[in-house]
Amino acid sequence: METVREHFRRKAFSFDHLYEEDRRLQRLVRPGLFARREFALGVVRSYPSPRVLDVGCGSGRVGQHVLESGAVEYVGVDFSEPMLDLAESRLAPFGSRVRLVCGDFLEAELDGPFDVVLALGFFDYTPEPHVFVRRIREVCSGSFAGSFPRWSWLKGPVRKLRYEVLNNCPIFNYTEPGLRTMFETAGFPHAEIVHRGRTGYLVRADASP
């Protein structure tokens, strides 16, 4: 994971700009980024004043929308200090409703449980995803919403070249049966693959049937 951490330390600013909503080109080239955000916000809005945990919160762009959507509390966890610096600045107007944690999600002290746990773009870089899903279940009393990439012959080779070859940052892909097994084993009685895109899945898993 250290190579992933270093990648996001170096690329924090460029990743943040992927979410610039006023840049029409970004929406055309990377519609999945905005689709998964709207999916996550839909889960957040299904709860009245939820406590939300964002695993791999990055620069806080999703967090800003989560707070504007009615979250009473937002906790963001990330291991990239530059990302959290951006998040701190962006979320400062929300005051005490925000807590940012720098460190490994598996070891971070979190005041759970949370109504909603998000992990958008996090599992792309996670070598042992089942361990993280188990930890998510431990701190989730309501719903999980996350994104998982799948292999695509259109974009797969490009992503592999860009991340693994050029930036020494490993990436991972998932299958629908593998996702169902992973969530069932972790203790989520109901996991729904809400969207099956050409390059990934959007998953909602509920802690209660």
Name the E strands within the chain.
51-55, 73-78, 98-102, 114-119, 140-149, 190-196, 200-206
pLDDT score recorded for residue 200:
87
Cβ(75)–Cβ(53) under 8 Å?
Answer: yes
Instruction: Determine the Cα angle at 17 with ends 167 and 150, to 5°.
Output: 55
Cβ(56)–Cβ(121) under 8 Å?
Answer: yes
As to burial, measured by CB atoms within 10 angstroms (0-12 exposed, 13-18 middle, 19+ buried), residue 55 is buried
> Any idea what the CATH number is for the domain that residue 57 is in?
3.40.50.150
Could you give the number of structural domains in the chain? 1
3-state secondary structure of 45: helix
User: CA 110 to CA 209: how far, in whole Å?
Assistant: 25
pLDDT tens, the chain, 209 aa long: 555 445 445 444 455 555 555 455 455 545 567 888 999 999 999 999 999 999 999 999 999 999 999 999 999 999 888 889 999 999 999 999 999 999 999 999 999 899 999 999 899 888 899 999 999 999 999 999 999 998 666 665 666 556 555 566 677 889 999 999 999 999 999 899 988 777 789 999 999 87
pLDDT score recorded for residue 25:
46
Task: Pick the closest to residue 16 from 87, 119, 74, 100 (CA basis).
Answer: 87
pLDDT score recorded for residue 41:
96
Which token pair is 100?
Answer: 């940012």
Cβ contacts of 92 within 8 Å, gap of 6 or more:
98
Range of the domain at 150: 2-206
pLDDT score recorded for residue 32:
63
pLDDT score recorded for residue 172:
81
Cβ(9)–Cβ(81) under 8 Å?
Answer: yes
Q: How many residues make up the chain in this entry?
A: 209
Q: Cα-atom radius of gyration of the chain, to the nearest Å?
A: 16
pLDDT score recorded for residue 3:
52
pLDDT score recorded for residue 14:
54
User: CA 135 to CA 37: how far, in whole Å?
Assistant: 22
pTM: 0.86
Give how far Cα 146 sits from Cα of 49, 81, 162, Å. 20, 22, 23
Torsion angle of alpha carbons 18, 144, 116, 48, nearest 10°?
Answer: 100
